[in-house]
Chains A and B, each alone.
Chain A
Amino acid sequence: MNEKQMSQICLIIIIIGIVLFIISYENEFQEKNISELIENEGSKGVVFGRVQHIIKNDSVTLFILTDGNEATVYHPKQIEIAINDFLIVHCESQSYNGKIELIAHRIEKA
């Protein structure tokens, strides 16, 4: 094998990788509402809602988000939010003490 044949192998690897990517990839976070996430434990999505109550905002942030339905949102960092703020939350639903909570990966103010 010479370096030209090796370059061709590299191109084949790239094409295989991109084809596999196109076939297998689906966007991790699609717009959903809170009830959809709560009903399917382990599902991910982007929810839009209002901060109803802040339970804790120290080293971690724990608050209740509502979009008609409500859910407890846990974020492993302290963030600046206030009651009645509108937020866009990228999150995943997980069970904690028998109750479904939303684990926030990212929180943005709307």
Chain B
Amino acid sequence: MILLFLFAGILTGTITGLIPGLHSNNVAIILAPLSFFGETALVFVLSMIITQSFVDFIPAVFFAAPETSTFEGVLPGHRMFLQGKGFEAITLTVFGGIIAIPIGILCLPVFNLFLEINKDRFIVIIPIVLIVTIIILSFSEKSKAKVLLTLFVLFASATQGYFFTDQIFPLIAGYFGVATIIHSAKNPPSIKLQEISAQIKNNYVIDSLQGILGGAIVSIIPGIGSNVAAAIIKTFKQKINPKNYLVLVGSINTSNLFFSFPVLFILNKARNGGMILLNDKMFFTNQSFVLGIIIMLTSCGFGALITLAIAKKVSSFHFDSKKIGSIVIIFLVISVFAFNGVIGLVALFFSTATGLFVTIHKIKRSSCLGALIVPALFYYLFILV
């Protein structure tokens, strides 16, 4: 019986991963009033969120349709897709994810102890890291004009982040999705025939380990998502190979969700919709903790296999970039309206305009992250003051 819930969770996670805008948090909201509880809820929710953390990258890489958890992978991943290496891009994110959970399990006692001891220090460290990130983002451009433009975009996106609270998906879809597609509509890129092979280098393990550390830290700290952590690491590293970066993003995304379970179990703090649902639906025992870890390990294997299989299938399609662009824009607009309403469409309009401004002036797209970083910075400053 319990295995049925495992497969139902994997299936749901696959569907939510493939549809931009539909997130496991939406499913959690639907499930909240149902008489769905205990181990069945635990198995379903954990298998769903872990599977989604893998499948999520397929629309991001192949269709440049970002999710709130994958937008940092859109540009490098989609660029690889245009070069005929979409399958390889997906394989790299999958590699990051499958390393994350087994290593995460081995490191769990040490991480828990480390995070438990240092959780108060993070409150002080994080705003400093955010300020330094903003400074690096602003002043990494070479000309003064571009620095000024970057500051303007940071300010504009931060204002949008404040104004459109709880509208992260429309903002991300605009900055990283619709703007890119509209800009490339004039000169639609030629998409090369997709190669269905990938080579994983040994040094990618290091990126995955960095991702695990980033995911573990993000899982305990409110206000910062896995993509912001990836952007911070990228900003500090300055130059990172797109392939290494995809491994990093895949690892952070999966390990963030993985560690959110022990954080709920030990600290009783829920960091995402799935964990909020579990907090409401079950009493935690050591047995349920062990079951949860085993389910996440199993789902990680299934999620990775499903993602590779879907990516292989999608790679065999013949892509017409103009048609895909139009379909993705229509789909994103419908998704935004369905999940965020009219205010979501307004947020999408402004974020697309900001994204286009960034693309036209050739400044760093990560300056749009002001929408997430600046509100998070003020959140921490408010706590400290």
Contact = CB atoms under 8 A, between A and B. Distances in A.
A6 B283 contact: no
B305 A10 contact: yes
Contacts of B308: 3, 6-7, 10
A14 B91 CA distance: 18
B297 A13 contact: yes
B98 A103 contact: no
A7 B305 contact: yes
Contacts of B298: 13-14, 17-18, 21
Interface stretch (B74-82, B157-165, B288-296): B288-296
A25 B37 CA distance: 17
Interface string B160-200: 00000000000000000000000000000000000001111
A14 B288 CA distance: 19
B282 interface: yes
Nearest to A15: B301
B341 interface: no
A104 B11 CA distance: 30
A25 B298 CA distance: 14
A17 B297 contact: yes
B291 A24 contact: yes
B302 A21 contact: no
Interface in A83-98: 90, 92
A10 B38 contact: no
Interface in B136-174: none
A80 to B, nearest CB: 13
Interface size range on A against B? 20 to 34
Contact of A90 (B38, B294, B302): B38
Interface in B51-94: 87, 91, 94
B304 interface: yes
B35 interface: yes
A9 to B, nearest CB: 6
A6 B294 contact: no
B2 A25 contact: yes
Contacts of A106: 35, 37-38
B245 interface: no
Contacts of B102: 13
A11 interface: yes
A91 to B, nearest CB: 10
A6 B297 contact: no
B304 A6 contact: yes
B39 to A, nearest CB: 5
Contacts of B216: none
Contacts of A105: 37-38, 282-283
A14 B301 CA distance: 5
B118 interface: no
A58 interface: no
Contact of A92 (B35, B199, B283, B297): B283
B300 interface: yes
Given A6-B98, A28-B287, A105-B37, A11 B305 contact: yes
Given A24-B287, A24-B291, A29-B38, 13 more contacts: A2-B198, A3-B91, A7-B308, A10-B98, A10-B301, A11-B305, A13-B102, A20-B294, A20-B297, A21-B295, A25-B2, A25-B291, A105-B282
Interface of B: 2, 35, 37-39, 87, 91, 94-95, 98, 101-102, 197-200, 282-283, 285, 287-288, 290-291, 294-295, 297-302, 304-305, 308
25 contacts: A2-B199, A3-B198, A3-B200, A6-B198, A6-B304, A6-B308, A10-B98, A10-B301, A12-B301, A13-B297, A14-B301, A16-B297, A17-B294, A17-B297, A17-B300, A18-B298, A21-B295, A24-B294, A28-B38, A28-B39, A28-B287, A29-B38, A105-B37, A105-B38, A105-B283
